[in-house]
Amino acid sequence: MARMLTFNIFRYNPQDPASVPHMQEFRIDETESMTLFIVLNRMREEQDHSLQFDFCCRAAICGACAMVVNGRPGLACHTKIKDLPEKITLMPLPVFKLVGDLSVDTGTWFRGMAKRVESWCHTKKVFDPTAQEERMDNALAERIYELDRCVECGCCVAACGTALMREDFLGATALNRVARFMLDPRDERTEAEYFDVIGTDEGIFGCMGLLGCQDICPKDLPLQDVLGKLRKKMAFAAVNNLLPSFLRREIKL
The 10s digit of each residue's pLDDT in 151-187 is: 999 999 999 999 999 999 999 999 999 999 999 999 9
Q: In whole angstroms, what separates CA 226 from the centre of its chain?
A: 14
So what's the pLDDT on residue 222?
95
Per-residue confidence (pLDDT) for residue 2, from 0 to 100: 81
Domain span including residue 188: 117-247
Percent of the chain at pLDDT > 90 equals 83
**105 Rama sector, left if φ>0, alpha if ψ -120 to 50, beta otherwise:** beta
Q: Are residues 123 and 66 in the same domain?
A: no
Please state, in angstroms and rounded to a whole number, the distance separating the CA atoms of residues 158 and 166.
Answer: 12
CA distance 51 to 57: 19
Residues 6+ apart with CB under 8 A from 23: 8, 9, 10, 11, 89
Which CATH number goes with the domain that contains 77? 3.10.20.30
The last residue of a domain, from among 82, 104, 126: 104
Sign of CA dihedral 139, 140, 146, 148: negative
* pLDDT grade for 248, boundaries at 50, 70 and 90: low
Give the per-residue pLDDT at 252.
Answer: 65
Average pLDDT over residues 221-247: 80
Distance CA 85, CA 6 (A): 9
To the nearest 10°, the Cα dihedral for 103, 108, 114, 116?
A: -130
Q: What is the pLDDT of residue 242?
A: 54
CA 156 to chain centre: 5
Please tell me the least confidently modeled range out of 128-132, 142-146, 186-190.
Answer: 128-132
Separation between Cα atoms, residue 61 and residue 150, nearest integer Å: 9
Question: Mean pLDDT score of the chain, rounded to an integer?
Answer: 92
Looking at residue 161, its pLDDT comes to 94
Q: At residue 132, does pLDDT exceed 70? A: yes
Is 156 found in the same domain as 62?
A: no
130 and 45 both lie in a single domain = no
**206 found inside a domain:** yes
Do 197 and 88 have their domain in common?
Answer: no
Pair type for strands 97-100 and 87-91 = unpaired
Q: Look at residue 247 in the predicted model and tell me its pLDDT.
A: 45
Spatial contact of 218 and 75, defined as CB atoms under 8 Å apart: yes
Among candidates 52, 58, 50, which has minimal Cα distance to 99?
52
- As a residue count, the chain comes to 253
Instruction: Check residue 183 and give its pLDDT.
Output: 95
Domain count, the chain: 2
